[in-house]
Amino acid sequence: MEPVSFNVVLEPLDEKMVHHLIAVPNEIADRFVNGKSAPRVFCSVQGSDEFPCALNPRHGRYVIIASKQLIKRNKLVVGVPFMVSIRHDPQNGLGLPEELAEVFDQDEVALRVYDALGDGHKRGLIHYINQARSVDTRIKRSLEIMEKIKERGNWS
């Protein structure tokens, strides 16, 4: 599916964990929704680098949660229109970092442990690894995470 672009405004939200959101027009969200779970997409704001996110159902519509970092990086202002592009994430947010894939190539037990995890848990681990700036840190995180997970369960 090709990227879809649309104009939106940043909306404030008075909640503890979520402060701003980007509402996706229904006619666009309907192209991505294919079940009960929140569809995973790649999003670009104002032509910036893409980032993975979800189209979250909220009060009868689909929204993208706007983090403080996203707002600051793109200089978004409540009520001021801006362009957003989204496209389907074919890997559902589960694209493996190279460093983690290498761990799995060398550790079959780690792969079985990982496969047993839920998608949300997997996305959290992938995000944590991808946040590291250096390859060495991503390798270290991949190894540490897999060792900790294997220790917690009976994965023999």
Task: Give residue-wise pLDDT tens across range 48-85.
Answer: 988 888 999 988 899 999 988 899 999 999 999 999 99
Q: Identify the residue with better confidence: 115 or 18.
A: 115
Give the pLDDT confidence score for residue 155 in this predicted structure.
43
Please indicate, yes or no, if residue 93 is contained in any of the structural domains: no
Whether residue 121 is found in the same domain as residue 70? no
Average per-residue pLDDT for the chain: 87
- At which residue do the structure tokens 């801006």 appear? 82
Choose one of 88, 108, 135: the last residue of a domain: 88
Residues in the chain: 156
Distances (CA, A) of 102 to 34, 48, 65, 97: 32, 30, 32, 9
What is the model's pTM? 0.73
b/e string for 90-125 if b means 16 or more Cβ within 10 A? eebbeebbebbeebbeebeebbebbeeeeeeebbeb
Whether residue 69 is found in the same domain as residue 40? yes
Residue 41: pLDDT band with limits 50, 70, 90: very high
Residue 103: pLDDT band with limits 50, 70, 90: confident
Please indicate, yes or no, if residue 122 is contained in any of the structural domains: yes
Whether residue 129 is found in the same domain as residue 106? yes
Residue 153: pLDDT band with limits 50, 70, 90: low
Number of domains in the chain: 2
Residue 141: pLDDT band with limits 50, 70, 90: very high
Q: What span, in angstroms and rounded, lies between the C-alpha atoms of 14 and 29?
A: 23
Task: Look up the domain containing 118 and give its range.
Answer: 98-152
Give the pLDDT confidence score for residue 109 in this predicted structure.
86
DSSP code for 96: P
Q: What span, in angstroms and rounded, lies between the C-alpha atoms of 107 and 126?
A: 17
Whether residue 138 is found in the same domain as residue 111? yes
Percent of the chain clearing pLDDT 70 (strictly above): 96
Cβ neighbours of residue 75 under 8 Å, at least 6 residues apart? none
pLDDT at 147 over 90: no
